[in-house]
């Protein structure tokens, strides 16, 4: 017999949920705080005022709103039995347990957490710098006596083949099921999701990049729950609700690792109330042996700028294409720009190149090892609008290629402390002037990095091992 329910909320979250619950429950009524909807009919069902829920004989209430906590309190205050809300949550959980079980990859598998084990969680192994840093970290851990595993939410990304042989990895879902999975994380308690996904506790659990994986980590019972922050949060937490949700999530970690001191400073300004969280600054690892092993001798007959990263608005590659158009119109023909990476912004960047007719800009796609291009280039250029830590800048400094970078948190910290580059204001005119000066031979006196990057790498490894347990001498 179908469960009789009232659905509180008639907006986008209800619409997203309808296709999954339609036919599985008997929707007795809708309710909403929007008075203008009361008495109207939605999908053949009447919308009633919240207080009229008390008049209905139901098995449970589904709260389908981003303001679920506020609505929960409201319903209790008007006399709704809390068990009706709890029952609704259980009914939804049962529905999504069945739905997720049908799409879960290797549904019989477990994420085997054990005492002394470090479990990493990340949503994808896409082609970003954070994902690359995680791959390098797994290579480091595989050389040490540290038991570790990796859980990836979605089976997508270019770095799966780069994970060391024998490193335990489990993938949960195919990317085609992302809408269902996102909805489940919105509607279902995260502890229940861990149970549905058969994730058992480890001593240490790490969410290496903010996302659904963070929800899985904070819902567990690990001795250490570590968040890893790679970005300048002021760029992403641009409204109060996002900040409030992030604050709730970060409060559930025991430790947070920041990839720069600037990232830590920004976090502390945003979330000064979370004094219980242990904070660590650890640079991303640069896999020196990988870089030196995969660089090849190339030679270019023009001044060559190389830009490396995910093709995304935040990376500012659109600015570089516009600058190249401006330089070309001014008669500069002694340079080229090579963009290495893939991402959602590729069609837009390609369209800009074609419409502006800038043939000296090339999209090379994703390269697992772009070091031959960085090594042969005259300049690495980082045009990011926001950046927590730029692994490619550190790699470029290791190779001795000068860097031109916008003043983002990560670039400022690296180049200010290490040298090896010039920083420009984060706008198109400043980038244009730097590239123009480079074409005129006016940036040839950039001094090399002042510190041995292998020493930095060793410091990084020692800090990581200090958190997870073990010795040093990694690379």
State the pLDDT confidence band at 472, using cuts at 50, 70 and 90: very low
Query: Does the domain formed by 118-287+463-468 have CATH 1.10.10.10?
Result: no
Torsion of CA 125, 129, 135, 137, to 10 degrees: -140
Chain centroid to CA 306: 24
Q: Give residue-wise pLDDT tens across range 158-185.
A: 899 889 988 999 999 999 999 999 999 9
Give the length of the chain: 475
State the pLDDT confidence band at 241, using cuts at 50, 70 and 90: confident
Mean pLDDT of the chain: 90
Q: Please give the average per-residue pLDDT across 279-293, as a whole number.
A: 85
Q: Give residue-wise pLDDT tens across range 113-152.
A: 444 589 999 999 987 888 989 998 998 888 877 889 999 9
Write out the H or E segment, with its range, that includes residue 235. helix 233-236
Torsion of CA 377, 378, 384, 390, to 10 degrees: 70
Q: Give residue-wise pLDDT tens across range 413-445.
A: 889 888 889 999 999 999 999 999 999 998 877
Rounded to whole angstroms, how far apart are CA atoms 199 and 221?
Answer: 11
The pLDDT value recorded for residue 153 is 96
Q: Is the pLDDT at 110 greater than 60, yes or no?
A: no
Least confident of 16-20, 199-203, 307-311, 448-452: 448-452
Residues above pLDDT 70, as percent of the chain: 95
Write out the H or E segment, with its range, that includes residue 229. strand 224-229
Rounded to whole angstroms, how far apart are CA atoms 219 and 366?
Answer: 35
Cα–Cα distances in Å, from 404 out to 55, 62, 384, 396, 397?
Answer: 67, 53, 11, 11, 11
Architecture of domain 296-451: 3-Layer(aba) Sandwich (3.40)
The residues, any chain, with a CB within 8 Å of residue 249's CB and separated by 6 or more, are: 214, 215, 218
The pLDDT value recorded for residue 433 is 96
The pLDDT value recorded for residue 461 is 82
Rounded to whole angstroms, how far apart are CA atoms 155 and 124?
Answer: 7
State the pLDDT confidence band at 462, using cuts at 50, 70 and 90: confident
Q: Give residue-wise pLDDT tens across range 395-407.
A: 898 888 999 999 9
Is residue 410 within 8 Å of residue 260, measured between CB atoms? yes
Q: Is the pLDDT at 352 greater than 50, yes or no?
A: yes
Residues above pLDDT 90, as percent of the chain: 66
Q: How many other CB atoms sit within 10 Å of the CB of residue 94?
A: 14
Q: Please give the average per-residue pLDDT across 22-38, as a whole number.
A: 94
Q: Domain 3-103: what homologous superfamily?
A: NAD(P)-binding Rossmann-like Domain (3.40.50.720)
Which of 353, 286, 363, 295 is closest to 322 using CA atoms? 353
Domains of the chain, residue spans: 3-103, 118-287+463-468, 296-451
- Intrachain domains 3-103 and 118-287+463-468 with the same fold: yes
The residues, any chain, with a CB within 8 Å of residue 240's CB and separated by 6 or more, are: none
Q: Is the pLDDT at 459 greater than 90, yes or no?
A: no
State the pLDDT confidence band at 473, using cuts at 50, 70 and 90: very low
Which of 404, 21, 386 is closest to 184 using CA atoms? 21
Is residue 86 within 8 Å of residue 68, measured between CB atoms? no
Q: How do beta strands 148-154 and 118-122 pair?
A: parallel
Rounded to whole angstroms, how far apart are CA atoms 270 and 264?
Answer: 10
Using DSSP's 3-state secondary structure scheme, residue 232 falls into coil
Rounded to whole angstroms, how far apart are CA atoms 339 and 350?
Answer: 11
Rounded to whole angstroms, how far apart are CA atoms 240 and 245?
Answer: 9
Is residue 441 within 8 Å of residue 378, measured between CB atoms? no
Q: Please give the average per-residue pLDDT across 24-30, as a whole number.
A: 94
The pLDDT value recorded for residue 292 is 80
Rounded to whole angstroms, how far apart are CA atoms 371 and 399?
Answer: 8
DSSP 446: P
Handedness of CA 288, 289, 292, 296 (dihedral sign): negative
Q: Please give the average per-residue pLDDT across 19-25, as a whole number.
A: 89
Chain centroid to CA 266: 17
The pLDDT value recorded for residue 74 is 96
Q: Is the pLDDT at 37 greater than 70, yes or no?
A: yes
Q: Is the pLDDT at 79 greater than 70, yes or no?
A: yes
The pLDDT value recorded for residue 445 is 74
């Amino acid at each position: 017999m179908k469960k009789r329910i009232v659905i509180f909320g008639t907006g986008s979250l209800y619409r997203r949920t309808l296709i999954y619950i339609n036919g599985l429950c008997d929707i007795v009524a809708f309710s909403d705080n929007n008075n203008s909807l009361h008495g109207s009919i939605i999908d053949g069902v009447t919308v009633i005022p919240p207080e009229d829920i008390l008049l209905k004989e139901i098995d449970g209430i589904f709260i389908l709103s981003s303001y679920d906590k506020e609505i929960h309190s409201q319903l209790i205050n008007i006399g709704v039995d809390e068990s009706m809300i709890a029952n609704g949550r259980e009914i939804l959980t049962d529905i999504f347990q069945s739905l997720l079980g049908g799409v879960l990859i290797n549904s019989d598998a477990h994420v085997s957490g054990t005492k002394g084990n470090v479990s990493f969680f990340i949503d994808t192994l896409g082609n970003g710098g954070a994902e690359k840093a995680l791959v390098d970290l797994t290579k480091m851990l595989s050389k040490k006596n540290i038991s570790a595993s990796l859980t990836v939410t979605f089976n997508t990304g270019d770095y799966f083949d780069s994970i060391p042989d024998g490193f335990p990895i489990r993938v949960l879902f195919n990317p085609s099921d992302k809408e269902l999975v996102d909805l489940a994380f919105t509607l279902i308690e995260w502890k229940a999701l861990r149970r549905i996904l058969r994730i058992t506790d480890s001593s240490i659990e790490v969410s290496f990049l903010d996302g659904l994986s963070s929800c899985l980590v904070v819902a567990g019972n690990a001795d250490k729950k570590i968040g890893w922050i790679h970005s300048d949060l002021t760029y992403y937490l641009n409204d109060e609700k996002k900040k409030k949700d992030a604050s709730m999530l970060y409060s559930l970690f025991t430790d947070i690792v920041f990839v720069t001191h600037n990232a830590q400073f920004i976090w502390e300004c945003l979330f000064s109330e979370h004094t219980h969280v242990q904070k660590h600054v650890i640079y991303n690892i640069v896999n020196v042996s990988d870089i030196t092993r995969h660089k090849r001798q190339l030679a270019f007959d023009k001044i060559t700028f190389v830009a490396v990263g995910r093709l995304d608005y935040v990376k500012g590659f659109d600015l570089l294409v516009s600058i190249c158009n401006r330089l070309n119109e001014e008669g500069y023909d002694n340079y080229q720009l090579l963009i290495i990476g893939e991402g959602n912004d590729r069609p837009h960047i390609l369209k800009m190149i074609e419409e502006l007719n800038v043939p000296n800009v090339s999209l090379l796609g994703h390269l697992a090892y772009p070091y031959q291009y960085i090594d042969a280039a005259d300049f690495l250029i980082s045009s990011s609008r926001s950046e927590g830590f730029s692994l490619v800048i550190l790699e470029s400094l290791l190779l001795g290629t000068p860097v031109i970078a916008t003043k983002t948190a990560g670039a400022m910290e690296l180049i200010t402390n290490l040298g090896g580059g010039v920083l420009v204001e984060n706008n198109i005119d400043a980038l244009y002037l730097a590239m123009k000066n480079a074409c005129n031979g006016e940036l040839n006196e950039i001094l090399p990095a002042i510190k041995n990057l292998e020493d930095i790498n060793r410091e990084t490894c020692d800090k990581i091992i200090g958190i997870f347990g073990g010795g040093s001498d990694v690379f």
